[in-house]
């Protein structure tokens, strides 16, 4: 998903810093999970991940990409839903745990492969197979609702997909993991056809090429491990407090004064669940009325105390903080807060510029000539 602060491209930088520090996989708290890109990468690397974020769409992605380890067989769904039954029969997926026929011969599949093939078919059916519906998104976020976030057709398809999913869940036809995998796929699909410049603070007054494409729902197969990861929709410090002793805390907070709640209200609404007309919206962009999931980390005045509070609450041995040179907490202040919390008073800083990784120490006060640091990663040992 297009997301401010998404760390997907910086994963090699993060992995390399963890390797250089010699931190072995254990239990980690990805405290500002966002798209869950970091939690997902750490789970793949063998970590047991607890993740947290204030936003519902983030919780959906945490569940889909970090917590989920398996996919339904979809047998119950196929029994109850004639549309799905038809799709499975058409695609030769009617007997999921035996084989599929390909290139004239039977290709044996592991159960997970069969389930994954069915998952793809169910996701595609949600995008294009269920009848478009004039629901909440069509009424509020398409031209019929006076806003151009989605074409009428895509808004109606988003409504159909999310309402079908919630209906299946309500009837007990989907396991939780599968529900969240599919809901995350709808969120991401909607984001790809959103008529925005990347955030939902405004829509564009002319249709962009991406917005004119039909909604596509592409479900991601989960990382199947035995690691029991947990998602939280809550404040980072509150979750840190409940986790007790862990190995590592990863901190990737908002850097500036822009609140995520105002920038991503449309995915937030898609993620929230079953509703029709009972959510009140306000203003040109349809923000959620009377609700502010406001973060202290976006305030120049409050962010330093929020960081102190999080460091006091965590039981982690190691802390890594991603930050940016234009953040609301200045470099000096950030280093001093981390140094106060560190067991040895030391703070290490890794920087990334043009794909070169560097580390320096605050004690040496090194400056790189003409260095325009774009991404910073601070490290301190807490216990
Ligand atoms: C820079 S983004 C994180 C990006 C994430 N690492 C990724 O790769 O997608 C910051 C996130 O912090 C969340 N956030 C803001 N205040 C928070 C708080 N007090 N506790 C937990 N999460 C918070 C925002 O909703 C946002 O998703």
Q: Do 161 and 233 fall within a single domain?
A: no
Residues 89 and 204 in one domain: yes
Pair (236, 208) in one structural domain? no
One domain for residues 130 and 182: yes
Are residues 109 and 47 part of one domain? no
Any atom of ligand 1 within 6 Å of the Cβ of 55: yes
Considering only CA atoms, which of 154, 155, 131 is closest in space to residue 141? 155
Does residue 63 lie within any of the structural domains? Answer: no
Distance 251 CA to ligand 1 centre (A): 9
145 and 97 together in one domain: yes
Nearest-atom index, ligand 1, CA of 297: 16
Q: Are residues 152 and 250 in the same domain?
A: no
C-beta of 297 in contact with ligand 1 (< 6 A): yes
Considering the domain architecture, whether residues 200 and 305 belong to the same structural domain is answered as no
Q: CATH number, domain at 373?
A: 3.40.50.150
Q: What is the pLDDT of residue 99?
A: 40
- The CA 53 to ligand 1 mean position distance, Å, reads 6
Q: Which atom of ligand 1 is nearest to the CA of 38?
A: 8
Is residue 362 in contact with ligand 1, taking CB distance under 6 Å? no
How much is the pTM? Answer: 0.91
Residue of the CA atom closest to atom 5 of ligand 1: 34
pLDDT of the residue at 112: 65
Task: Look at the chain and report how many structural domains it folds into.
Answer: 2
Establish whether residue 5 lines the binding site of ligand 1, counting it when its CB lies within 6 angstroms of any ligand atom.
yes
Residue 19 makes CB contacts below 8 A (sequence gap 6+) with: none
In SS3 terms, the chain reads as CCCCCCCHHHHHHHHHHHHHHCCCCCEEEECCCCCCHHHHHHHHCCCEEEEEECCHHHHHHHHHHHHCCCCCCCHHHHHHCHHHHHHHHHCCCCCCCCEEEECCEEEECCHHHHHHHHHHHHHHHHHHHCCCCCCHHHHHHCHHHCCCCCCHHHHHHHHHHHHHHHHHHHCCCCCHHHHHHHHHHHHHHHHHCCCCCCCCCCCCCCCCHHHHCCCCCCCCCCCCCCCCCEEEECCHHHHHHHHCEEEEEEECCCCCCCCHHHHCHHHHHHHHCCCCCCCCEECCCCEECCCCCCCHHHCCCCHHHHHHHHHHHCEEEEEEEEECCCCCCCHHHHHHHHHHHCCCCCCEEEEEECCEEEEEECCCCCCCCCCCCCEEEEEEECC
Shared domain for 165 and 251, answered yes or no, is no
The pLDDT of residue 292? 64
pLDDT of residue 291: 67
Say whether both 207 and 251 belong to one domain. Answer: no
Q: List per-block mean pLDDT (blocks of 10 residues) for the chain, which spans 383 residues.
A: 94 97 98 98 96 97 95 94 95 65 40 83 97 94 96 97 94 95 98 97 97 97 87 97 98 94 94 76 88 86 98 98 92 97 97 53 42 79 97
Please check whether residue 69 lies inside any domain of the structure. Answer: no
Atom of ligand 1 nearest to the CA of 306: 19
Domain with 235 in it: 8-56+227-259+294-381
Asked, for residue 364, whether it belongs to a domain, the answer is yes
Residue 197 sits in the same domain as residue 328 = no
- pLDDT for position 167: 93
Confidence at residue 264, expressed as pLDDT on a 0 to 100 scale:
96
Domain boundary among 212, 244, 277: 212
């Amino acid at each position: 998903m297009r997301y401010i602060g998404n760390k997907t491209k910086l994963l090699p930088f993060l992995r390399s810093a963890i390797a250089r520090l010699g931190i072995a996989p254990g239990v980690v708290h990805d405290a500002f999970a966002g798209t869950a890109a970091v939690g997902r990468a750490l789970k793949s690397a063998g970590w047991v991940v607890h993740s947290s974020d204030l936003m519902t769409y983030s919780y959906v992605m945490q569940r889909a990409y970090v917590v989920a380890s398996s996919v339904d067989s979809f047998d119950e769904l196929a029994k109850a839903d004639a549309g799905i039954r038809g799709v499975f029969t058409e695609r030769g997926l009617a007997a999921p745990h035996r084989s599929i026929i390909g290139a004239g011969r039977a290709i044996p599949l592991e159960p997970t492969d069969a389930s994954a093939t069915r998952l793809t078919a169910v996701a595609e059916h949600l995008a294009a197979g269920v009848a478009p519906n004039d629901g909440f998104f069509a009424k509020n976020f398409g031209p019929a609702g006076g806003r151009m976030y989605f074409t009428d057709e895509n808004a109606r398809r988003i409504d159909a997909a999310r309402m079908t999913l919630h209906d299946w869940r309500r009837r007990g036809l989907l396991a939780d993991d599968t529900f969240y995998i599919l809901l995350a796929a709808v969120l991401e699909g909607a984001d790809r056809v959103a008529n925005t410049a990347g955030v939902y603070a405004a829509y564009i007054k002319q249709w962009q090429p991406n917005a004119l494409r039909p909604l596509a729902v592409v479900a991601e197969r989960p990382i199947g491990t035995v690691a029991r990861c947990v998602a939280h929709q809550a404040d980072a410090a509150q979750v840190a407090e409940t986790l007790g002793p862990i190995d590592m805390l990863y901190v990737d907070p908002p850097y500036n004064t822009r609140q995520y709640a105002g920038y991503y209200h449309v995915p937030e609404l898609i993620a929230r669940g079953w509703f029709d007309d009972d959510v009140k919206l306000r203003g040109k962009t349809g923000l959620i009325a009377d609700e502010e999931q406001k973060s202290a980390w976006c305030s120049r005045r409050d962010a330093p105390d929020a960081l102190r509070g999080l460091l006091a609450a965590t039981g982690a041995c190691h802390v890594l903080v991603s930050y940016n040179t234009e953040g609301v907490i200045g470099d000096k202040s950030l280093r001093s807060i981390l140094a106060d919390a560190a067991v040895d008073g030391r703070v290490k800083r890794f920087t990334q510029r043009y794909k070169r990784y560097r580390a320096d120490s605050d004690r040496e006060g090194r400056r790189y000539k003409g260095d325009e640091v774009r991404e910073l990663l601070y490290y301190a040992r807490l216990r």
